[in-house]
Structure 1
Amino acid sequence: MREEGRTITAVRLVGHADRMQGRGFDYNQTLSRDRAETVKAYLVGQGIDPALVSYEYRGDTEQVQSCEGVRDRAVLHECLLPNRRVEVQFQVPK
């Protein structure tokens, strides 16, 4: 964005977790919060005004990959990787 001379007016972060620890609101909610806060800290370190950043934590409520039928724990852990994420949305003027 900086290289293109664009101004960021807002950043929205949405943290997510996988279901490996069981579908539990508190644990996975905390993981998704920690992920979003880590990304926020990185962006602030890159010069983004912290006042522009908002975030949500969705825990394990929005899985993008289910991995149904996978039984081996190591394979399941790898399969569920896309669910451990932070969505980042930058708002810039047109």
Structure 2
Amino acid sequence: MRGALRVLIYQFKDEGIRKEVPQIIGDIFYDLARIYAKMGKVRKAARLLRRHACMGGGVFSPPGYWQEDEAFQNCRKSKVFLKIVGKLPSPSSN
């Protein structure tokens, strides 16, 4: 996965869409987090969701939008998930 991200960054570094690359990568992390959450891999899903937020995810979405996603409903009961994701913005922080 890291190799694919490096290729993506390298490929678009000289073009005019350089500002969109973090958003694209953030979307990839969000989709992977949803997949891992549905598979029941809570820790991996939480780490990918945190990376999604760090890469500029949620620019077009309000804070806490991931909490409404049905893929993360079972993960929200996990203490590990809440510990890793706990510092992300929530809807009440607006």
TM-score range, shorter chain: 0.3 to 0.5
**Which has the higher Rg, Structure 1 or Structure 2?**
1
Q: TM-score normalised to the size of structure 2?
A: 0.34
More strand by share: 1
Greater share of residues in helix: 2
Higher relative contact order (CA 8 A, sep 6+): 1
